[in-house]
Amino acid sequence: MPLTLFHLPAVMPEPHHWLALIALGVICTGIAYALYFRLLARIGPTKSMAVTFLVPAFAIVWGVLFLAETVTLTMLVGCAVILLGTALATQILAGTP
């Protein structure tokens, strides 16, 4: 934030840009945190952290759907490793009932 004072834009953003920024920050982030904290209270921290493991897999899905990106074998293998790690971390594949 302090470095932005040295790189101010030539023209100030319009009010609707500021409103979009506030909406993203308050509404989207606020709702996401409220849902995450509710999930944290309901299922605990270990299973809640699995949400962050799934970000790369969803990034691939959104890239394919919205940006017409191609899926490579490396991406699929990476997603498989992530899903396996998530299953182990959440004890889905731990072998204990």
pLDDT in tens, 75-91: 999 999 988 888 887 77
DSSP 8-state assignment for residue 13: P
Q: What is the pLDDT of residues 17-52, one digit of tens each?
A: 999 989 988 888 888 889 989 989 998 887 788 888
CB 85 within 8 A of CB 94: no
- Tally the residues of the chain: 97
Structural tokens at position 77: 């293998």
Q: Check residue 72 and report its DSSP letter.
A: -
What are 71's two structure tokens? Answer: 């899926």
